[in-house]
């Protein structure tokens, strides 16, 4: 009896465990599903053979073209202008040549260069040398360069700073360049079409002439834009270095009777020398001329006078 009860209990326990396992174990049988519904339209027609990834990528906005490397950027703020910076300074220095060497060092240290330099020695060699020079420095070092250059001088006699805004001109050049480059691409495509379909020399030459014209305009615009780029990138500073000896203070001498007397005697001496020079010139130059011209003239006058008297005497 006990054995039967134990057997029944084992059978019930086995059935209970099997029922629990069936309810918790995942079903391994494959499930059949209907086809997935088509994806909603995204504003374009997908081509046959396109994968889902490719179709999805078309919904993304097109990447913006990269900048062409020029200074101007269409998205720049209104305060970011293209300015050509210039400066003109007249500096009073102790020694112009020493200041020239110092300014050369400053310019090289800031990454600039001397574009031209001219030294002029005064008539009085003791007064020193006057130097005129033009230097180019990076635009971002413009203020630093002016500050260091002024420190080499005793004082700044004149200072004139300038800035030319070329933003509008650069914008116009950039727009014209893009239009010409687009025209160049169209002409190249037209050239290919003409060669493939027509092959007429006249048509090919006509397209080639127009293409050469467009390319010439593109080169001109690029050259102008490169010049503006360099002008904006490098500021121009013109300097006039004047030695202090040439700008010495004007002193007023005190009245000195002895000096006045010496000046009067010197003036009288110069006057007498002038009169004597006139007499000497007259004796050497005028007298021979008077003799050569005056003697024949006097003889002619005397002959005419005697002839007149003879004529009067001969009349009854």
Per-position pLDDT tens, the chain of length 316: 444 444 444 444 444 444 444 443 433 333 333 333 333 333 333 333 333 333 333 333 333 333 444 444 444 554 578 999 999 999 999 888 888 899 999 999 999 999 998 888 866 555 578 899 999 999 999 999 999 999 989 999 999 999 999 999 999 999 999 999 999 999 999 888 888 887 788 888 888 999 999 999 999 999 999 999 999 999 999 999 998 876 655 455 677 888 888 889 889 899 999 899 888 888 888 778 878 888 888 888 888 888 888 887 776 5
Number of H helices, E strands in the chain: 8, 5
DSSP β-bridge partners for residue 89: 159, 239
Q: Nearest to residue 102, comparing CAs of 291, 306, 250, 241?
A: 241
**Beta carbons of 122 and 116 less than 8 angstroms apart:** no
Own/partner pairs for 165-168, CB < 8 Å, 24+ apart?
165/81, 165/82, 165/83, 166/82, 166/83, 166/84, 166/228, 166/231, 166/232, 167/72, 167/81, 167/82
Q: Nearest to residue 112, comparing CAs of 229, 234, 226?
A: 234
* Per-residue confidence (pLDDT) for residue 85, from 0 to 100: 93
Q: Which two tokens stand for residue 282?
A: 């007259």
* Residue position matching structure tokens 């024949």: 296
**Beta carbons of 129 and 97 less than 8 angstroms apart:** yes
Element (H, E) at 141: none
* Per-residue confidence (pLDDT) for residue 259, from 0 to 100: 83
Tally of CA atoms within 13 A in the half-sphere of 120 that contains its CB: 10
- The burial of 138, by beta-carbon neighbours within 10 Å (0-12 exposed, 13-18 middle, 19 or more buried), is given as middle
Q: Which two tokens stand for residue 41?
A: 């339209």
* Per-residue confidence (pLDDT) for residue 79, from 0 to 100: 56
Length of the chain: 316
Within the chain, strands assigned E span 83-93, 113-121, 129-138, 155-165, 234-243
Phi-psi region of 256 (alpha: psi -120 to 50; beta: other; left: phi over 0): beta
* Residue position matching structure tokens 């004047």: 242
* Residue extents of the structural domains in the chain: 83-164, 168-232
Element (H, E) at 151: helix 142-151
d(CA 53, CA 39): 12
Report the 10 Å Cβ neighbour count for 38. 6
Residue 239 has phi, psi (to 5 degrees) of: -125, 145
* Per-residue confidence (pLDDT) for residue 244, from 0 to 100: 82
**Beta carbons of 166 and 228 less than 8 angstroms apart:** yes
Residue 199 has phi, psi (to 5 degrees) of: 65, 20
**Beta carbons of 94 and 243 less than 8 angstroms apart:** yes
Q: Which two tokens stand for residue 218?
A: 């593109």
- The burial of 128, by beta-carbon neighbours within 10 Å (0-12 exposed, 13-18 middle, 19 or more buried), is given as buried
Choosing among 3.30.70.260, 2.60.40.10, 3.90.1300.10, 3.30.1180.20, the CATH entry for 83-164 is: 3.30.70.260
């Amino acid at each position: 009896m006990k054995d039967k009860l134990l057997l029944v209990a084992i059978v019930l326990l086995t059935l209970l465990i099997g029922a629990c396992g069936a309810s918790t174990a995942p079903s391994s049988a494959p499930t059949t599903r209907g086809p997935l519904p088509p994806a909603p339209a995204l504003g374009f027609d997908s081509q046959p053979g396109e994968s889902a990834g490719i179709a999805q990528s078309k919904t993304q906005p097109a990447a913006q073209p990269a900048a062409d490397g020029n200074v101007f950027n269409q998205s720049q703020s209104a305060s970011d202008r293209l300015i050509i910076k210039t400066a003109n300074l007249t500096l009073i220095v102790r020694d112009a040549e020493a200041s020239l060497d110092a300014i050369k060092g400053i310019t090289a240290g800031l990454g600039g260069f001397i574009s031209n330099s001219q030294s002029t020695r005064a008539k009085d060699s003791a007064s020193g040398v006057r130097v005129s020079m033009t230097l180019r420095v990076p635009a971002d070092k413009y203020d630093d360069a002016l500050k260091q250059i002024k420190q080499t001088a005793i004082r700044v006699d004149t200072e004139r700073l300038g800035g030319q805004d070329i933003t509008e001109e650069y914008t116009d050049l950039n727009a014209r360049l893009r239009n010409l480059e687009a025209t160049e691409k169209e002409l190249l495509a037209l050239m290919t079409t003409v060669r493939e379909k027509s092959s007429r020399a006249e048509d090919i030459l006509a397209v080639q002439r127009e293409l050469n014209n467009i390319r010439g305009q593109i080169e001109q615009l690029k050259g102008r834009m490169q010049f503006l780029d360099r002008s904006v990138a490098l500021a121009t500073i013109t300097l006039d270095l004047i030695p202090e000896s040439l700008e010495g203070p004007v002193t007023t001498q005190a009245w000195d009777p002895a000096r006045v007397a010496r000046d009067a005697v010197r003036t009288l001496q110069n006057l007498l020398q002038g009169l004597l020079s006139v007499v000497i010139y007259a004796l050497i130059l005028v007298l021979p001329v008077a003799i050569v011209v005056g003697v024949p003239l006097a003889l002619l006058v005397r002959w005419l006078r005697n002839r007149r008297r003879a004529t009067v005497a001969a009349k009854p």
